[in-house]
Amino acid sequence: MRAGAFRAEAPVAPILSVRGLTKRYGGRVGCEDVGFDLYPGEVMGIVGESGSGKSTLLNCLAGHLRPDAGEVLFDLGKDGMRDTLALSEPERRRLARTDWAFVHQNPRDGLRMTVSAGGNVGERLMAVGARNYGAIRASALDWLGRVEIAADRIDDRPAAFSGGMQQRLQIARNLVTGPRLVFMDEPTGGLDVSVQARLLDLLRGLVRDMGLSAVIVTHDLAVVRLLAHRLMVMKGGRVVETGLTDQVLDDPQHGYTQLLVSSVLQV
C-alpha cells in the first residue's frame, strides 16, 4: 500500500493539518515554519540526524511542547477540525488518552514499570470508563496476543521483560483504545537489529489492519522504508524535502537527503 494510490482512491479530508509550526529555544531554532497534511490511514515519516528538529516537531504536535507559532488542526469528528493548541488542558488530555497515542523510544517512559502487563494495557480502558474487570482482562489478553506476548505473562511486571517485549507492551498499551492517530518517537531505537525487524513487521501489520494514521520520527531510513507512505526530511529545524517515501529515498533531490540516503545501506 502506498500513499499516492491510497489518496487517488479516496479523496478525503486530512485528519491532521499542520501550519507554520515554529519552536525556538532562546535564539536557537527547534523547528521552523513546518506544515503538512496527514490523511486517514496514512503514515508520515520524519527523518533527519539528531538535532535536526524532528523530535521537537513531534513533541509540539503531540502537545508535550508548546510551540511559539503555528497551528495543529485535528479532525475531532463532530466538532470538525480544531486547533489542538487552542484546546483547554482537560480537552487536550482527553484527546491524549482516547484518539491519540504516543510511543516513546524508551519503553520505560511509556510504561508503568511497577504495574503488571495486564494493568498497563488496561489503564487506558479504565481511564475512559471501563469498569468490568473480566472485560478489561480479556482485552488485555487479546492485545498481549496481538503483540506476541504470551498470555501467562499478563500478571508479570514489565521490569521482568526484555527490551523488545517492553516495546511491544508499550504499543499494546497505546493501541488498546483504538486511537486514530499515533505518534512514534524512534520506536525501534535501542533495540537489537533482529528484534527491530520483528517489531517493524508487527507495527506494519497493526498499522495496516487498524487503518492507523501515524507520524513516525526516526533517524533510521529502513524504518520509514517499511512503514511510511510519505517522508519529510528535516535539517536545522526546517523541512528540506518532502514526497512519497520511495520517491524521496530512490531519487533524492536535496543535497542533504542525498547524503542521508548514501550513508546507509539500501534496504
Partner 1 sequence: MTQAEIRGEAPGADYTFAYLDEQTKRMIRRALLKALAVPGYQVPFASREMPMPYGWGTGGVQVSAAVLTPEDTLKVIDQGADDTTNAVSIRKFFQKTAGIAVTEHTGEATVIQTRHRIPEAPLTEGQILVYQVPIPEPLRFLEPRETETRRMHALEEYGLMHVKLYEDIARHGEIATAYAYPVKIEGRYVMDPSPIPKFDNPKLRMAAIQLFGAGREQRIYALPPYTEVVSLDFEDHPFVPGKAEGACALCGSETSYLDEVIVDDRGGRMFVCSDTDYCAGRRAAGYRGEMAAEEGGA
C-beta of 106 vs 116, nearer to partner 1 = 116
Q: Which residues lie below 8 Å from residue 175, measured CB to CB, with a gap of 6+?
A: 101, 143, 182, 206, 210, 212
C-alpha cell at 50: 539528531
C-alpha cell at 169: 507492551
Residue 130 C-beta: closest distance to partner 1, Å: 8
Picking from 94, 60, 52, the residue whose alpha carbon sits closest to that of residue 77 is 94
CA 7 to chain centre: 20
Residue with cell 535501542: 190
Residue 98 touching partner 1 (CB under 8 A): no
Residue 97 touching partner 1 (CB under 8 A): yes
SS3 content of the chain, % helix, strand, coil (to 5): 45, 25, 30
C-beta of 70 vs 110, nearer to partner 1 = 110
String of contacts with partner 1 for each residue 238-267, x by CB under 8 A: ------------------------------
Out of 13, 132, 211, 258, the only residue in the binding site for partner 1 (CB under 8 A) is 132
C-beta of 87 vs 261, nearer to partner 1 = 87
C-beta of 73 vs 111, nearer to partner 1 = 111
Out of 110, 122, 164, 237, the only residue in the binding site for partner 1 (CB under 8 A) is 122
> Which residues between 139 and 168 bind partner 1 (CB under 8 A)?
154-155
Residue 123 touching partner 1 (CB under 8 A): yes
In whole angstroms, give the CA distance from residue 251 to residue 258: 8
